[in-house]
Every structure is written in C-alpha cells, then in structure tokens.
Structure 1
C-alpha cells in the first residue's frame, strides 16, 4: 500500500469519476486505474464495482475512504510541520471571477510564490455558476466568486463585500439622475450573462421592484461591459470602487435608484469535507490578501492611492 495508491483511490471515490480524478492528479487514466488495481490486490478487496457503465464504490471502499482521507491529511500535515517554505507541492486548480483577476489576484500569486514556491497555480477565470459546477464536480480545489452558494456540497467563507451603483456614460444620462421605470424602458440595460453572480443579484433586485427590463443586452465580460457603457450603448451595474477612476475621469456617471442595488459579497468556496492543507493554506492567504479597492493594473488611472474598503487586506 502506497500513498499514491491511496491518493488515486481517494480522489476517484470522492469525485465519482476516474477521468476527473486522473486530471486532478495530473496522471493518465490508465495510470490511475493501475494504482487502484494494485491497492485492491494488496488489500484483497474490490474497492469499486466495475460491472456497470460507471464504477461504483463498494462497501469495502466506503470503509477505506475515511482511513485514506486521514492518512493523506497526516501526510500533508507532516510536510507542513517539517518545511513550511516548501510544504505545498504539485498543482492547485481553482476558479476566480474576472473582478478578482483584475484587482488583488497578482498580490495573491506573489504571496503564494513566497510561501509555497513548489506549488503550481492553475487559475480559471469564469462566471460564478460555471465555476460552482466545476467545483462541485471536483474539477477545482476552490473558487473565489460571488455568493452565497446554497449547495450543501460546498462550504464557504466570506472574503469581502462590494457596493454597486448604476452607471451610464455622461452623454446618455447625467450624474445623479434618479432612475425610474421609464428610464429602464428607454435605455438598454447591459448585464453579464445569466451565469454571473452579479446578474443573479440584479434579477433579484428587479423582481423585488416588479421591474421589467424590455431592452436588455448581454455580455460575458466585465471589461467589455464597462467599455460598452462608456461608449454610450446603455446603462449597467458596476462595483463602485472598481470603476471609481472612470467616474473621476468623467467617462462614467453615477446614477441613483430607490431602493439602491444590493451589495454583492464574495466568498472563498470549497468542497464540503475537503480538509487538505492546500485548501486551508490558500484560504488563509486569500483572507489576508483580498482587497477589492485595488484598481486594475490595465487601466491608465490605476496605481493611484486608494482608501481601504470592505474586504481590504488585513495586516
């Protein structure tokens, strides 16, 4: 019995798929199957029933699963205790929203490289629901996305909260304009696609106001959405601190609505029961580095001093 065999069995059982487990461990499916077969030969027990279209864990496999989890956790703790600088190895595949990617994500990467130089980061930038599905399927170690998530398969911890404001180009609507149902019928509302956490929050807000949006446009990129609004195509909801440089530059105008849009909270989400050191460590680093008040380094207005806001980095 080896750690690699137990690791192959554990992830195949937890993820319910040999192919997904192999991808997570960066081995071929045949290599993963061989390790599990060798473990079954060593124990003299079948750990998976392979008679159907999908392999199903057996009673013996269920009994082994908890032991395997404990052994793998001990191995991770041993590495952490003996050598903090290189405790985490291998790869970490995780999901982030575009907003995270364009604000404080570089500082997270720098911190991880400092503390865990042997850990390879594999971020995936996508919309909220897409990342939640991948996380539930076990294709990701964790995700930093808007929430909260209602799935019992996922655990979460709040990272920060952002205030949102309606915005338009000044040539379309003047700053301070109080939006009415007439405005929403006369001006196209541009939103992210339905998989985005912001869109879900917007739809909830609109439903509470019994507001119909007859001229909605859909975009799957926050950067492209901002560019479209600045070009005068329509109005949209943006995180206030994130687009503040464009407001100061006169490229966007803040609008008012009653009631105000809902704030949007961001969460560090992981699979319930996943106690691996890589998840614990990256969660702790995330909570320390998260700072949504940072401007995108791609913007010419970026780099100016900004006041710390909700979710700012904690020293």
Structure 2
C-alpha cells in the first residue's frame, strides 16, 4: 500500500468515476484501475464492486473511506508545514529565458532574498527547448520559459506575456507608415534562436510569402540582436520591453507592418514529482513579481 493508491481510492470514490479521477490526478484511466487493484490486493479486501460497466463502494470500502480521507488531510498539512517560508532552505536550480533577464529578474531575486533568506538560487539562462528537457530529466527545479509545457509531469503557473515588435535604425532604408512584410523580410532579420517559436514563425512566414529573405540571423543573445539593430545591420524582431527605451529616445524606430508575431507567453514551470515545496513557493512569488512589473 502506498500514498498514490490511497489518493486514487479517495478520488475515485469522491468523483464516482475512474475517468474523472484519472483527469484529476493527471494520469491515465488504466493507471487508476491498476492502483485500485493493487490497493485491494495489499489490503486483502474489495473496495468496489463492478458489474455491467458500473461500480460502487463495497461495505468495507465505505468503512475505510473516512480513514483514507484523514490520511490525505494529514499529508496536505504535512506539505503546508514544509512550505512555510521560514523553514525553507537550500539551493534552487532555476532556468530563465533571456527576455525575463532583461525585464523583472532583478526584482524577483530581491524578493527571493527578502522572503526566503535561507535559499540560494543557482541561475541558468537558456532557451525554452533546452530548459524543457532539463525540467523533465530533473536537471532544473524550476524554469521561467515560453510555455506552458504540455507534459502531465510538469506544473505550469502563468507569469506574463510580451508583444514582439519590429525595430531598426533610422538609417535603414525602409519606407514610412505601414511597411509590407515583404519589405522587412528583404533585410537581415535578427531574432530568437532556431529552436524557438518566434524563429519558427518567421521561417514559416518566408515560405508563405514566397519571398527571398536576405538573411535570417537567429541568436541566443537578445542583447546582441538589439546591438546589431542599433548599428543598422538589419531589422530586429524583439520584445517591446527590451527596446522601449531605445524607441523612446529615438535610437531605434518601431516599424508598423502588415504582419506581427504572436506575443511571447511565459510560465513558471516545475516537475510535479518529487514534491518540491521550494519550487512551488518561488513559482508563486515569480507570478506576483511579474504581474507587478507589467502593471507599472
């Protein structure tokens, strides 16, 4: 007998459905059935009677259900106690997209030091594809990335979204007003790395528009892309927050176009198991900090 089996028993009995219990527990219906069978075998009793495609609690199942429920409540209390900020300590392996580095990361780290004084952050800046793999293989405890991650083993908490804009030097030869996307694509385009959604969108666009792009310059460094745009080497497709000061100061020109990329949507993502109260609490703090930053 183990905790997962007890938890599954309670949810099947509460929801009255193996399918609904599977959805609630982020697993498959066969896995739920397997856990119930294993629990019954370990206890040596039947918990459910099954006939004509339906099932109901046995007399023994009704008798045992309150005990299982109490055990789940105790487990939740145990987790809550473990999650108290003053008791959390250790190292959190955090992965961060560069867009976050240029926006609210410093504010977030200050809040971590204030609220979790015994926690140290081990920071990695990387692209989403790499961080997704590292979360799944447990090389990272938490990541702020372009999400959500569609993987049942990963929990996602919404953070923020940022629009992407076209920018260039005022010296670059592009017409005023709304610029046809074909004109923009005739220049060198600097943007996110190859294994990212923004790059894929631009690459797909060139095929749809059937245009010969002068050069598509993907980079893992958004700072480098901005620098090249400032130097007049081409057009940057970058987050507005990253180039807002340069646009306002007149160093860069924001280009209106007939096509805009999708907004960047970020999540704080972490493995559901093993349970890590530190990752959960700091993900919640990140959500708060990111929303405060956007509301400024």
Aligned to 1:78: 81
Aligned to 1:17: none
Sort the Cα spacing of 1:152 and 1:209 in 2 relative to 1 into closer, same or farther, 3 A.
Answer: farther
Aligned to 1:184: 185
**Superposed CA RMSD:** 2.8
Structure 2 SS opposite 1:166: strand
Write the mapping of 1:92-171 to structure 2, written as runs, cut at 5 A. 92-171=92-171
Structure 1 distance, partners of 2:272, 2:207, is 31
Structure 2: any 5+ residue segments left out of the alignment?
Answer: 1-72
Instruction: Kindly state the Cα deviation for residue 180 of structure 1 after the two structures are TM-superposed.
Output: 3.2
Sort the Cα spacing of 1:207 and 1:87 in 2 relative to 1 into closer, same or farther, 3 A.
Answer: farther
Structure 2 distance, partners of 1:72, 1:91, is 24
Structure 1 distance, partners of 2:249, 2:223, is 17
> Does structure 1 retain, via aligned residues, the 8 Å contact 2:190–2:217?
yes
Structure 2 SS opposite 1:260: coil
Structure 1 distance, partners of 2:160, 2:80, is 29
Structure 1 distance, partners of 2:89, 2:76, is 14
Structure 2 SS opposite 1:138: coil
> Does structure 2 retain, via aligned residues, the 8 Å contact 1:94–1:143?
yes
Sort the Cα spacing of 1:152 and 1:207 in 2 relative to 1 into closer, same or farther, 3 A.
Answer: farther
More displaced stretch, 217-226 vs 283-292:
283-292
Report how many aligned residue pairs link the two structures: 223
Structure 1 distance, partners of 2:175, 2:183, is 15
> Does structure 2 retain, via aligned residues, the 8 Å contact 1:192–1:220?
yes
Instruction: Kindly state the Cα deviation for residue 110 of structure 1 after the two structures are TM-superposed.
Output: 1.5
Structure 2 distance, partners of 1:72, 1:107, is 34
Structure 1: any 5+ residue segments left out of the alignment?
Answer: 1-69, 294-308
Are 2:246 and 1:243 aligned?
A: no
Instruction: Kindly state the Cα deviation for residue 149 of structure 1 after the two structures are TM-superposed.
Output: 2.7
Structure 2 distance, partners of 1:204, 1:88, is 46
Determine which structure has the larger helix proportion and give its number.
2
Sort the Cα spacing of 1:203 and 1:268 in 2 relative to 1 into closer, same or farther, 3 A.
Answer: farther
Name segments (4+ residues, structure 1) moved above 6 Å: 70-74
Sort the Cα spacing of 1:214 and 1:231 in 2 relative to 1 into closer, same or farther, 3 A.
Answer: closer
Aligned to 1:193: 193
Instruction: Kindly state the Cα deviation for residue 154 of structure 1 after the two structures are TM-superposed.
Output: 2.5
